[in-house]
């Protein structure tokens, strides 16, 4: 997996249109949103009711702390 791409890759961008979004890895009920991670390019996406936007890893960690709570330094779960 590459480092986060500020624009996403063709696979994750087109996946939204095809009904095959990137892997869902978190949920935030207060934001009415879910967090998704492209397994190809490493881009984080936040999906809302009507749209999805790219967010930074820092924002993902801020708004979805439980998603990152069980990660260890190498990125695997504890």
Element (H, E) at 68: helix 65-69
CA distance 72 to 63: 19
Residue 15 lies in a domain: yes
Domain interval for residue 16 = 10-60
What is the mean pLDDT for each group of 10 consecutive residues in the chain (78 residues)?
67 94 96 97 95 96 92 49
Q: How far is CA 35 from the centre of its chain?
A: 4
Cβ 46 vs Cβ 52: under 8 Å = yes
pTM comes to: 0.82
Residue 27 lies in a domain: yes
How high is the pLDDT of residue 23? 96
Count of structural domains within the chain: 1
Residue 30 lies in a domain: yes
């Amino acid at each position: 997996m590459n480092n986060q791409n500020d624009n996403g890759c063709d696979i994750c961008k087109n996946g939204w249109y095809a009904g095959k979004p990137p892997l869902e890895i978190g949920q935030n009920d207060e934001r009415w949103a879910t967090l998704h991670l492209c397994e190809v390019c490493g881009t984080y996406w936040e999906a809302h009711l009507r749209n999805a936007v790219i967010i930074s890893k820092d924002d993902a960690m801020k708004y979805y702390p439980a998603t990152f709570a069980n990660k260890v330094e190498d990125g695997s779960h504890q």
